[in-house]
Copies of this chain bind each other. A is one copy, B any other.
Amino acid sequence: MEFVTERKETLLTELCVDKIAHSEIKDDQKVSLKGTIHTIRDMGDVAFVIIRRREGLFQCVYEKSIVSDFSELKEGQAVKISGLIRSEKRAPHGFEILVKEVLIYSTPKKSMPLQISKWKLNTSLEANLDYRAVALRNVRERAVFKIQEGITRGFRDYLYKQGFTEIHTPKLGAKSAEGGANLFKLEYFHKPAILQQSPQFYKQMMVGVFDRVFETAPVFRAEKHNTKRHLNEYTSLDLEMGYIDSMDDIMDIETGFLKYTIELLRKDYKKELDILSVELPEIKEIPRVRFDEIKRLVSERYDRKIKNPYDLEPEEEELIGKYIKEKTGSDFVFVTHYPTKKRPFYAMDDPTDPKFTLSFDLLYKGLEITTGGQRIHDYEELIKKMEKRNMDKEGMEDYLSIFAYGMPPHGGLGIGLERLTMELIGLENIRQATLFPRDQRRLVP
């Protein structure tokens, strides 16, 4: 018997972009490069073979007098190129590889349905989504999801530093008090079950345990929306924090998260920001303004009648964004004190005027990216509000019990990851910021 405890050495240095950028790899150094053939430009005696890897594109020079079997090379092949480094200012990263040998791992059996090697994927959104696993191989398409990764990283890392604990709450449940019509239903070992549309109740329960918690996980909404900014399954960045003095604490945490994340993106995701020509906003402090006040101000400023005093129409949100930008220079604005009748039962009413809640939305360039607020933590107050709304307490015993056993003042927020990605990058449709979107018509791929 042989216990394999050590790896064999690889014969060639695996090319490392960072090393080359820092001049640790010199001209004529032997390297190998594994990747996919992105394009082949045949110039006669010489061909430029561009290799696509996770770090980007790499130029390889194939001199037919040195290497034979050029005819075997095809776009889309997974290959290992061995050769020598050569400085070349015009090539990506400032170098190219003079090919000595090519090992072909696999060859496509069909021709590509989309021209993924083009800089911009010139195709309809429908075709893009139909051939999603191929479309995402395009350098610009995939850059969106690196930025999305940065947002999630920023959220988690900032919250870890603020003493939050990451939690994993169940997505399968027996019943939910909120929006029964918007829940997907299924059978769970002969019992009726639902998919959670939000970790709301669980994250509140966990405030009683960890004081501050967050979760980054899928949520499921059976809403019959068909818009550019709704999905039926999305990734929710959720947080909930206890021992707050007011909802300002929650807005402070969100401001901190956004500042931290914008900085992280600028530092670690510069390449992708450049690929997509994204200009990230500057965040200093984010203005906070009451719902009724900004509604009135916008109505006056843009000479627009208030149609619905209880909610913001999309056009109104846009105008708020415009107004705040003019007055303060900020792309973001917290709109606070939403009317009680438009907020869920657990939202805390403003004690000075219970028609409004201690809740907020965060708008970015006139689009909502977060809903949050302070929650009721007093058992009797919660029960009273549920009764006023004629809500059924059945199935909510576990949630309600945490208040009976004592809860601190608390609040939190939820951010749709795909929507935030879409809006930070400036995409038109949320589906472009989703690897495999789920909407009313789309359950595949």
Q: A residues within 8 Å of B by Cβ? A: 1, 3-7, 10, 34-36, 53-55, 76-78, 80, 105-110, 112-113, 131-134, 136-137, 142, 145-146, 148-149, 152-153, 156, 160, 163, 165-174, 184-189, 191, 193, 195, 202, 205-206, 208-212, 217-218, 220, 222, 224, 232-233, 235, 242-243, 245, 248, 252, 285-289, 293, 297, 327-328, 377-380, 395, 398-399, 401-409, 417, 435-438, 440-441, 443-445
Contact = CB atoms under 8 A, between A and B. Distances in A.
Nearest to A405: B108
A399 B133 CA distance: 8
A323 to B, nearest CB: 10
B105 A377 contact: yes
A421 B217 CA distance: 19
Report copies per complex: 2
Contact of A78 (B212, B245, B409): B409
B105 A405 contact: no
Given A54-B211, A109-B380, A10 B245 contact: yes
A241 to B, nearest CB: 10
Contact of A184 (B53, B160, B186): B186
Nearest to A6: B285
Given A153-B166, A165-B146, A170-B438, A36 B184 contact: no
A186 B189 contact: no
Given A134-B402, A170-B438, A4 B105 contact: no
B443 A136 contact: no
Nearest to A170: B436
Given A170-B233, A172-B443, A402-B134, A289 B408 contact: no
A401 B110 CA distance: 9
A405 B4 contact: no
Contact of A3 (B193, B208, B288): B288
A328 B3 contact: yes
Given A173-B444, A212-B54, A218-B217, A168 B435 contact: yes
A188 B443 contact: yes
B173 A401 contact: no
A373 B232 CA distance: 33
Nearest to A77: B406
A435 B207 CA distance: 13
A187 B187 contact: no
B107 A406 contact: yes
Nearest to A164: B54
A30 to B, nearest CB: 17
A218 B417 contact: no
Contact of A134 (B145, B212, B401): B401
A254 to B, nearest CB: 13
5 contacts: A35-B211, A36-B208, A113-B405, A184-B186, A189-B222
Given A172-B233, A409-B105, A443 B252 contact: no
Contacts of A217: 217-218
Given A217-B218, A402-B134, A185 B184 contact: no
A173 B78 contact: no
A406 to B, nearest CB: 4
Contacts of A6: 285
Most buried by B among A160, A220, A405, A438: A405
Contacts of A137: 208-209
A284 to B, nearest CB: 8
A405 B112 contact: yes
A133 to B, nearest CB: 4
A377 B174 contact: no
A360 to B, nearest CB: 11
Contacts of A136: 206, 208-209
Nearest to A297: B1
B109 A379 contact: yes
B248 A435 contact: no
B106 A406 contact: yes
Given A36-B208, A148-B168, A172-B184, 15 more contacts: A3-B327, A54-B210, A54-B211, A105-B409, A106-B407, A110-B404, A112-B405, A133-B206, A133-B208, A133-B402, A134-B208, A146-B165, A185-B187, A189-B441, A399-B445
